[in-house]
């Protein structure tokens, strides 16, 4: 499988091309004999995760499908992987917390799109296609807003963003879906509600520990609901709750299922900003947390960041003040509805019917803005369909894009 590395120095702030720069990395992958095929740029979910690494024994199945028609460009979005990474608090450039926060305001989808445009020009490519998963779909939609003329086709899985909604409205709807998924889970595994209550009692008494030795708090334990939004997640959560909560296995497996951590710091402190289309986030998910979560301790949350995460997660405490500053930042617009209406680009979008992270009706409202779109609405998969059935999912999207 031929690969080629691309490294490009780009402005930290694209509006200041003569200012500080960062490095952006992308790995080009092709089949033997397919080195001249058109490019498909993969925009990773997240935000804050690097692109997958090609490995003939472990790589996602969608990669093999993509390579039958394309050369694949696996972009490490700025701040991740081999691109200039965002690391510990001390490693973030800036003399104080406000300077560090100002640095981090340049790591959203709009900057990623402009990185892609510089890379496209560097490679001498007139147009290329996109595959955007989750946050990558948000980024692809920003691309359609900023530079649709550079795109031959766009394929999106679980990532048509809600446009025209406040961040609070977006997160309020994810709670509605998560509550429904919790109730469905307990209908399937009725004994797990009592198992969770027992574990929460132990956590409340300070008797459960994370592998670091820190206390596993009840509210942190209740944040593992994101599994319910993924294929096979109900089974994974059930198998976790079957374990003795005082066992090392439970401690390590809970830690692995916690939604936020320092491995991908951008995901934690810029998570809400990827939905902030012209507003400050101000801990939106925490603000709209339903009263039902106070009344029923067995309701679980998913991608719902709160200030207390930076108290209860030992590896996040370093970022607590930084997260507060970023939560107050007034973010610029990410999408231009008029530009989207004029984007003459074929778009094929897989919309998951009960997506826990990207609301279906909000996605369909955005789809209605696009002049050349075909939406595939399915309940065959949760949010991770590209990961679990990627060859089939991508094959259908490629076919749809050719027919739009």
- Cα dihedral angle (150, 151, 157, 159), rounded to 10 degrees? 40
Same domain for 145 and 197? no
Strand partners, 154: 130, 347
Are 173 and 156 contained in the same domain?
no
User: Domain check: are 276 and 237 in the same one?
Assistant: yes
Q: What is the CA radius of gyration of the chain?
A: 21
CB atoms within 10 A of CB 354: 16
Residue 58 pLDDT: 85
Closest CA relative to residue 11, chosen from 24, 3, 22: 22
Q: Are 94 and 103 in contact (CB under 8 A)?
A: yes
- Same domain? 319 vs 342: no
- Residue 57 is predicted with a pLDDT of 84
Q: Are residues 117 and 251 both part of a single domain?
A: no
Asked which of 301, 327, 353 is the last residue of a domain, the reply is: 327
Whether 334 contacts 140, CB under 8 Å: no
CB proximity list for 294: less than 8 A, separation 6 or greater: none
Q: How many degrees, rounded to 5, is the angle at CA 374 between CA 369 and CA 380?
A: 120
Domain that holds residue 177: 167-327
Give the model's pLDDT for residue 55: 86
Residue bearing tokens 């963003």 = 161
pLDDT in tens, the chain (404 residues): 789 999 999 999 999 999 999 999 999 999 999 899 999 999 999 999 999 998 888 888 999 999 999 999 999 999 999 999 999 999 999 999 999 999 999 999 999 999 999 999 999 999 999 999 999 999 999 999 999 999 999 999 999 999 999 999 999 999 999 999 999 999 999 999 999 999 999 999 999 999 999 999 999 999 999 999 999 999 999 999 999 999 999 999 999 999 999 999 999 999 999 999 999 999 999 999 999 999 999 999 999 999 999 999 999 999 999 999 999 999 999 999 999 999 999 999 999 999 999 999 999 999 999 999 999 999 999 999 999 999 999 999 999 999 98
Which residues are CB-contacts of 332 (< 8 A; sequence separation ≥ 6)?
110, 278
Q: Are residues 173 and 312 in the same domain?
A: yes
Q: Indicate the residue among 297, 327, 357 that finishes a domain.
A: 327
Q: Are residues 176 and 287 in the same domain?
A: yes
- The CATH number of whichever domain residue 398 belongs to comes to 3.40.50.1820
Residue pair 5/27 in contact by the 8 Å Cβ criterion = yes
Rounded distance, CA 52 to CA 42, Å? 9
Q: Are 139 and 175 found together in one domain? A: no
Q: What are phi and psi of 35, to 5 degrees?
A: -65, -15
Q: How far apart are the first and last CA of the chain?
A: 31
**What's the number of domains the chain is made of?**
2
The reply to whether 78 and 154 lie within a common domain is yes
Same domain, 306 and 361: no
79 and 90 in contact (C-beta within 8 Å)? no
Same domain, 178 and 320: yes
**DSSP string covering 95-153, please?**
SSHHHHHHHHTT-SHHHHHHHHHHHHHHHT-S-EEEEEETHHHHHHHHHHHHHGGGEEE
Of 309, 327, 345, the one marking the end of a domain is 327
């Amino acid at each position: 499988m031929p690969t080629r590395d691309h490294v490009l120095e780009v402005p930290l702030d694209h509006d200041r091309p003569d200012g500080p720069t960062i490095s952006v990395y992308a790995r080009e992958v092709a089949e033997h004999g397919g080195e001249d095929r058109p490019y498909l740029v993969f925009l990773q979910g997240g935000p804050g995760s690097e692109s997958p690494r090609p490995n003939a024994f472990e790589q996602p199945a969608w990669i093999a499908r993509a390579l039958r028609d394309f050369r694949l460009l696996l972009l490490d979005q700025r701040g991740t992987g081999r691109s200039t990474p965002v690391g510990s608090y001390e490693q973030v450039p800036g003399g104080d917390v406000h300077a560090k926060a100002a640095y981090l305001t340049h790591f959203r989808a709009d900057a990623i799109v402009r990185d892609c445009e510089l890379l496209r020009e560097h490679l001498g490519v007139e147009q290329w296609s996109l595959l955007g998963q989750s946050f990558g779909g948000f980024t692809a939609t920003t691309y359609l807003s900023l530079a649709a003329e550079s795109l031959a086709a766009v394929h999106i899985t679980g990532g048509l963003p809600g446009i025209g909604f406040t961040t609070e409205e977006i997160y309020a709807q994810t709670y509605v879906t998560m509550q429904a998924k919790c109730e469905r889970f307990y209908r399937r595994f009725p004994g797990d509600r009592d198992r969770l209550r027992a574990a929460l009692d132990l956590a409340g008494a300070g008797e459960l520990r994370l592998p670091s030795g820190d206390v596993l708090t009840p509210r942190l334990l209740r944040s593992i609901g994101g599994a319910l939004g993924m294929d096979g997640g109900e089974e994974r959560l059930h198998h976790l709750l079957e374990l003795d909560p005082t066992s090392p296995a439970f401690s390590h497996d809970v830690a692995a299922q916690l939604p936020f951590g320092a491995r991908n710091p951008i995901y934690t402190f810029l998570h809400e900003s990827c939905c902030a289309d012209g507003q400050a986030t101000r801990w939106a998910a925490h603000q709209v947390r339903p009263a039902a979560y106070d009344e029923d301790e067995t309701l679980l949350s998913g991608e719902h960041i709160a200030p207390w995460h930076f108290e209860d997660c030992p590896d996040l405490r370093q970022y607590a003040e930084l997260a507060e500053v970023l939560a107050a930042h007034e973010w610029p617009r990410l999408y231009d509805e008029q530009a989207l209406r004029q984007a003459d680009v074929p778009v094929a979008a897989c919309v998951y019917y009960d997506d826990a992270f990207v609301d279906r009706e909000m996605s369909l409202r955005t789809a209605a803005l696009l002049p050349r779109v075909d939406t595939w609405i399915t309940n065959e998969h949760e949010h991770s369909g590209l990961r679990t059935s990627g060859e089939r999912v991508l094959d259908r999207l490629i076919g749809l894009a050719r027919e739009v």
